[in-house]
């Protein structure tokens, strides 16, 4: 185990392997699917749903373009991959 000390922040870097459990940015348990050659960046695949984007959807498409009521719909994605600097 190598230790990195930066000011008051102390981070312990263990030897990472593919398939290890790592935390995604939203706090879920994810698996490491890729490690960079210099071991400073990892890609983790999270099986939970994550918000991808919010789109405007027409409620009644029969009305003219300017008068169409719209609603916002959230689109979620499963198995999203995040790149994380270590």
60 pLDDT more than 90: no
What does the angle CA 44 – CA 75 – CA 46 come to, to the nearest 5 degrees? Answer: 15
* Domain limits, the chain: 17-85
Token pair belonging to 16: 């990472």
pLDDT given at position 30: 93
Measure the CA–CA gap between 14 and 20, rounded to whole angstroms.
11
Give pTM, 2 decimals: 0.64
Token pair belonging to 85: 């600097």
76 pLDDT more than 80: yes
Q: Is the dihedral of CA 10, 14, 18, 21 positive or negative?
A: negative
pLDDT in tens, 10-52: 444 568 899 999 999 999 999 999 999 998 999 999 999 998 8
């Amino acid at each position: 185990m190598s230790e990195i000390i930066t000011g008051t922040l102390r981070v312990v870097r263990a030897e990472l392997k593919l398939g290890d459990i790592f935390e995604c940015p939203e706090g879920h348990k994810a698996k490491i699917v890729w490690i960079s050659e210099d071991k400073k960046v990892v890609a983790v695949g999270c099986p939970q749903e994550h918000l991808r984007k919010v789109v405007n959807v027409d409620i009644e498409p029969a009305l003219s373009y300017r008068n169409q009521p719209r609603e916002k719909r959230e689109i979620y994605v499963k198995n999203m991959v995040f790149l994380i600097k270590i």
